[in-house]
Amino acid sequence: MAKRILVTGAATGFGRGMALELARRGHTVIAGAQIAPQVTELMKAADEAGVALKVQVLDITDEGDRQAAFANEVDVLINNAGVMQTGPVAEIPMENVRRNFETNVFGTLALTQGFARQMVKRGSGKIVMVTSMGGLVTVPFASVYCATKHALEALAEGLKAELAGTGVEVCTANPGVYGTGFNDRGAETMMRWFDMANSLTRPEVLAAAATGLASQLDPQSMIDALVRIAEEDGSKFRNVVPDETAEWIKGIQAKTWEAGKDDAIWSSPPTG
């Protein structure tokens, strides 16, 4: 059965892949892109792929863009838009922290609130929060980004409990380390301000972190999972992809219960 699906952050990465594939499968897809040039480029990509996409400017931090989005009646909201600011917790500029929360948390929540009202009134709908493996564990030097994703996990759990019985389904999708370019762009944000010579972090820790993105996964498996989640009824609440990342997360979480002062918690995630 064809559905009306709104995908935020559809100009690149997972959002672009799932928007095009869902449209190819016959769904009515509203693809939100942050800025006008991305709209033009995405419309061209849809035309080349031979699929119909409704593409509109949707900066989720902009009230006018959100109100325009609310004019769409949707069955599934996929909260995929997000940004990443990186750097040591003790040093990252507060402006960067606020920027990360403004998009990933406040913008996502504001959009969700509008569509939740629509869905509850109708008695049906699905809200998907695309969080991250970083919503369940904390990646060194991406801790602020992880904090925003931890926040989305909490909001999703709250929504699930609070909207029980309304006909609205809530679930999360948690990608592992995928090579969409998002992680690389996030890592670059740190380089704009970071002063290694005066950092509070020890050089050997910085050096170990520098290799974290050397090997990343093919995004297609996550795109396939997101398409499945959008189409199916009755998803699992938490959807970590791939399975190996889910097991690694459970191992990291177990360590946090036992770790003492000098005990390491972090280990590199699977990327093969």
Catalytic positions, please?
145
Which residues are paired to 54 by β-bridges?
A: 30
Tally of residues, the chain: 272
What percent of the chain is helix, strand and coil (3-state, nearest 5)?
50, 15, 35
Which residues are paired to 238 by β-bridges?
A: 172
68 phi and psi, to 5 degrees? -65, -35
DSSP result, 243-263: HHHHHHHHHHHHHHHH--TT-
What's the rounded Cα separation, in Å, for the pair 35 and 161? 34
Question: In the Cβ-directed half-sphere of 2, how many Cα atoms lie within 13 Å?
Answer: 9
